[in-house]
Amino acid sequence: MKILVCISHVPDTTSKINFSEGDTKFDTNGVQFIINPNDEYGLTRAMWFKEKQGATVDVVNVGGPETEPTLRKALALGADGAIRVNTPALDGFAVAEQLAKVVKDGAYDLVIAGRESIDYNGGMVPGMLAGLTNANFINTCISLDIDGTNVKAVREIDGGKETVNTTLPLVIGAQKGLVEESDLRIPNMRGIMMARKKPLTIVEPIEASTETVSVKFEKPTPKGAVTLVSPDNLDELVNLLHTEAKVI
Amino acid sequence: MSVLVYTESEQGKFKKVAFEVASYARAIADQLGTSVTAVSINAEDPSLLGTYGVTKVLNIKDSKLDTFNAKSYAHVINQAAAEEGSKVVVVSSSADSKYLAPLLAIELKAGYASNVVALPTNLSPFTVKRTAFTNKAFNETSISTSTKLVGLSNNSFGIKEHITEAEVTHYSPSIPDNGVHVESVDKVTDKVTIADADIVVSGGRGLKGPENWGMIEELADVLGAATACSKPVSDLGWRPHGEHVGQTGKPVAANLYIAIGISGAIQHLAGINASKVKLVINTDPEAPFFKAADYGVIGDAFEVVPALIEKLKAFKAQNA
In a domain, B113, yes or no: yes
- Given this model, what pLDDT does residue B189 score? 65
Which residues constitute the domain of residue B306? 199-318
User: Rounded distance, CA A234 to CA B310, Å?
Assistant: 10
- Given this model, what pLDDT does residue B249 score? 66
Number of folded domains in chain B? Answer: 2
B154 and B71 in a common domain: yes
Residues of chain B contacting A242 with CB distance shorter than 8 Å: 315, 319
Q: Using 50, 70 and 90 to split pLDDT, how confident is the model at B134?
A: confident
Tell me if B183 and A137 make a contact (CB, 8 A cut-off): no
Handedness of CA B145, B148, B152, B157 (dihedral sign): positive
User: Rounded distance, CA B25 to CA B3, Å?
Assistant: 6
Among B170, B191, B225, the domain boundary falls at B170
Mean pLDDT of A116-123: 91
Angle between the N-to-C axes of helices B95-108 and A92-106, in degrees from 0 to 180, rounded to the nearest 10: 80
Alpha-helical runs (H) found in B85-184: 95-108
ipTM metric: 0.94
pLDDT digits (tens, 9 = 90+) for B204-225: 999 999 999 999 999 999 999 9
Beta-bridge partner residues of A152: A145, A165
Whether pTM > 0.90 for this model: the answer is: no
Tell me if A163 and B186 make a contact (CB, 8 A cut-off): yes
B214 and B160 in a common domain: no
User: Rounded distance, CA A240 to CA A248, Å?
Assistant: 9
B117 and B14 in a common domain: yes
User: Rounded distance, CA B277 to CA B283, Å?
Assistant: 20
- Given this model, what pLDDT does residue B175 score? 95
In a domain, B192, yes or no: no
- Given this model, what pLDDT does residue B247 score? 65
DSSP tag of B198: S
Q: Is A21 on the interface with B (CB under 8 A)?
A: no
B155 and B47 in a common domain: yes
What average pLDDT is seen over chain A? Answer: 95
User: Rounded distance, CA B241 to CA B228, Å?
Assistant: 9
Q: Looking at the predicted structure, is the pLDDT value of residue B37 above 70?
A: yes
Tell me if A226 and B296 make a contact (CB, 8 A cut-off): yes
Angle at B138 between CA B137 and CA B141, to 5 degrees: 140
pLDDT digits (tens, 9 = 90+) for A77-100: 999 999 999 999 999 999 999 999
pLDDT digits (tens, 9 = 90+) for A206-240: 999 999 999 999 998 888 899 999 999 999 999 99
In a domain, B183, yes or no: no
In a domain, B191, yes or no: no
In a domain, B193, yes or no: no
Q: Looking at the predicted structure, is the pLDDT value of residue B248 above 70?
A: no
User: Rounded distance, CA A37 to CA A184, Å?
Assistant: 10
Q: Looking at the predicted structure, is the pLDDT value of residue B190 above 60?
A: no
Q: Using 50, 70 and 90 to split pLDDT, how confident is the model at A2?
A: very high
CB crowding B264-278: b at 16 or more within 10 Å, else e: bbeebbbbbbbbbbb
B157 and B298 in a common domain: no
pLDDT digits (tens, 9 = 90+) for A178-209: 998 789 999 999 999 999 999 999 999 999 99
In a domain, B229, yes or no: yes
B140 and B40 in a common domain: yes
pLDDT digits (tens, 9 = 90+) for B250-296: 778 899 999 999 999 877 887 788 899 999 999 999 999 999 999 99
Tell me if B95 and A156 make a contact (CB, 8 A cut-off): yes
Tell me if B188 and A122 make a contact (CB, 8 A cut-off): no
**A160 dihedral zone (left: phi>0; alpha: psi -120 to 50; beta):** left
B164 and B212 in a common domain: no
Q: Distance from B292 to chain A by nearest Cα, in Å?
A: 8
Q: What CATH code is carried by the domain that includes residue B153?
A: 3.40.50.620
Mean pLDDT of A131-156: 97
- Given this model, what pLDDT does residue A86 score? 98
B266 and B151 in a common domain: no
In a domain, B181, yes or no: no
B141 and B16 in a common domain: yes
Count of CB atoms situated within 10 Å of the CB of A166: 20
B157 and B40 in a common domain: yes
Q: What CATH code is carried by the domain that includes residue B247?
A: 3.40.50.1220
- Given this model, what pLDDT does residue A133 score? 98
B207 and B161 in a common domain: no
B165 and B51 in a common domain: yes
In a domain, B261, yes or no: yes
Nearest to B188 among A159, A213, A247 (CB): A159
